Amino acid sequence: MKTVNRIITPILSLLLLPAAFFLPIFRIYIASGLTGAGADARPNLLDNFGLSEFISIFDIVKLAKSGAADNMGVFKSLWDAIAGDKKQEIIDMLPGLHWGIIFLVFFVIVIILALALAIVTAATKKPLASVCLSLAGIVSAFIMNACFNGFAKPFLNGAFNLNSILGNTNQLLGILLGNVATFEYMKLGLAYTAFLLIFICTLILSVTALMEQRNEG
């Protein structure tokens, strides 16, 4: 089992890299606010005004390379027109921004731990180190998820919406758009699930190899 662990665990660990790049990091759904409300509401054509996106790093890179990033000039002009000279004030009022930063930090930590796990397991015959790194990966993934939920909470509970942003510069526009578009869903996507599954599998392999090593000793 020790040999299996030294072969399979590095492979699984390295699979985390394409998972982080290609799988959706998070899903966001912005409801139009024009649809019926409540559990008994029936779907209608206005549902099409909602925005639902699964966003991965690959999608962001593809958008940047496709030339679509040039269209960001339009959004920048719109942002300049709406925000005016209050851009920093609007940015400062973003709630949970610190949670977003910590989320990014732990996202990087998870990737670093996966690389370290692959190297340590392949280069050494100490499954205890692999157990520790696997546990650290699982804990870091949970913290990453908790931080993202902390970042998303103000958007989902209505504490921060388009009215909060635009009301600072254009109260009428803020009231109109704030009532039309609302954040309904913000959660981590398949990448987070893949992180957990990979680290759980490597933990099982490493624990099994550690038990075998101690029985031999």
Confidence band for 125, pLDDT divided at 50, 70 and 90:
confident
Flag whether pLDDT at 110 surpasses 80.
yes
CB < 8 Å & 24+ apart, contacts of 173-177? 173/82
Sheet of strand 26-31, all strands in order from the earlier edge strand to the far edge: 51-55, 26-31, 182-188
Averaged pLDDT, 146-154: 90
pLDDT value of residue 76: 52
In this predicted model, which residue has the larger pLDDT, 31 or 171? 31
Confidence band for 84, pLDDT divided at 50, 70 and 90:
low
pLDDT value of residue 68: 52
Averaged pLDDT, 211-217: 83
- Model pTM above 0.85: no
Among 8-12, 22-26, 49-53, 83-87, the least confident range: 83-87
Averaged pLDDT, 64-72: 57
pLDDT value of residue 24: 92
pLDDT value of residue 30: 73
What value does the mean pLDDT of the chain take?
Answer: 77
